[in-house]
Structure 1
């Protein structure tokens, strides 16, 4: 079923399967696709973010399960704290799935990584539909779930246009200047491969 996603400014994307079927003003897309389901979101619709620290967040950190919070806390574990854990494939895979979910909650549709070495991590990321962008070397900055907290220029995925992949996010802000000021925690929805994979409750 075709779905139209629209923001507060009336900009909209028509999504069919994993692809963008149309992009433009909401009124035009509704006229072109009168049977489509329409989702209206507060804020601005943008291409999703690309996190520059994919390797660090996926393979050099463990994201605890909420059921482990009493023992491990809620923040990603790195360095000596990570080394102290008994990390097996199951734990690596589960941690990577939670890392991806937490990035999706920040409007992030992909991450820049060196080659992922841990098979359980690769499998978890592949199954999620999360985009992996190659990189060479370390990007600098500070690994953070919110790319605006990394200290690096923020990168967006490719612009959304007809026949491109349906990967985008909606942030509850007036414009990109406010997004830069308030950060990606303002995300209200993230779409990957045409699926609504995150929605703020």
Structure 2
């Protein structure tokens, strides 16, 4: 299923200056295109569109220990609330947490890499409010966190 994620501001990388009215077309677990919201909605009529407030960009790579929580599942979901879709493998050593991360699509990386929104890349997106808090996280094309 295709989904267009659109926001008033979009960053392809964390360091990029945001562009106005950007969007990402996601098909399955991959990014199909990154363009203006107008271009994508015109090119793909009838595709579901999720409009988010804030800044849409790549999901984060968590580079420290996972946040504490009572269960492995809750520790993984604490990552999603931060806007992260990946973590460093050497920080996820507990077998239960590792299994929960795998079930939820968290990418476990050997080393940190700068996240980027690019056609063909894995659809790991996050939306952040002006205060830096995470409003939504998409991991491998699935919406896994949305702030109420």
Query: When the two structures are superposed, what TM-score results if normalisation uses the length of structure 2?
Result: 0.84
Is 1:113 equivalent to 2:124 in the alignment?
A: no
Name whichever structure is richer in helix by fraction: 1
Q: 1:194 to 1:51 in 2, by over 3 A?
A: same
Alignment-derived partner of residue 12 in structure 2: none
Aligned residue pair count: 137
Is 1:19 equivalent to 2:30 in the alignment?
A: yes
2:59 maps to which of 45, 48, 56: 48
- Deviations along 1:134-188, one digit per CA (max 9) or x if unpaired, are 24xxxxxxxxxxxxxxxxxxx7752111111100100122xxxxxxxx44xx211
Name whichever structure is richer in strand by fraction: 2
> What is the rounded CA distance, in whole Å, between the counterparts of 1:2 and 1:116 in structure 2?
32
- Is the radius of gyration larger for structure 1 or structure 2? 1
> What is the rounded CA distance, in whole Å, between the counterparts of 2:110 and 2:126 in structure 1?
21
Query: When the two structures are superposed, what TM-score results if normalisation uses the length of structure 1?
Result: 0.63
- Contact 1:48–1:157, Cα closer than 8 Å, also in 2: no
Alignment-derived partner of residue 43 in structure 2: 32
Alignment-derived partner of residue 172 in structure 1: 129
SS in 2 for 1:123: helix
- Deviations along 1:23-55, one digit per CA (max 9) or x if unpaired, are 1100110111112111110011111111111xx
Alignment of 1:145-164 (within 5 A): 157-164=114-121
| Structure 1 unaligned regions, length at least 5 | 65-94, 136-154, 174-181
| Structure 2 unaligned regions, length at least 5 | 9-19
Alignment-derived partner of residue 4 in structure 1: 4
Is 1:197 equivalent to 2:144 in the alignment?
A: yes
Runs of 4+ in 1 over 4 A off after TM superposition: none
**CA RMSD in angstroms, aligned pairs only:** 1.9
Q: 1:124 to 1:114 in 2, by over 3 A?
A: same
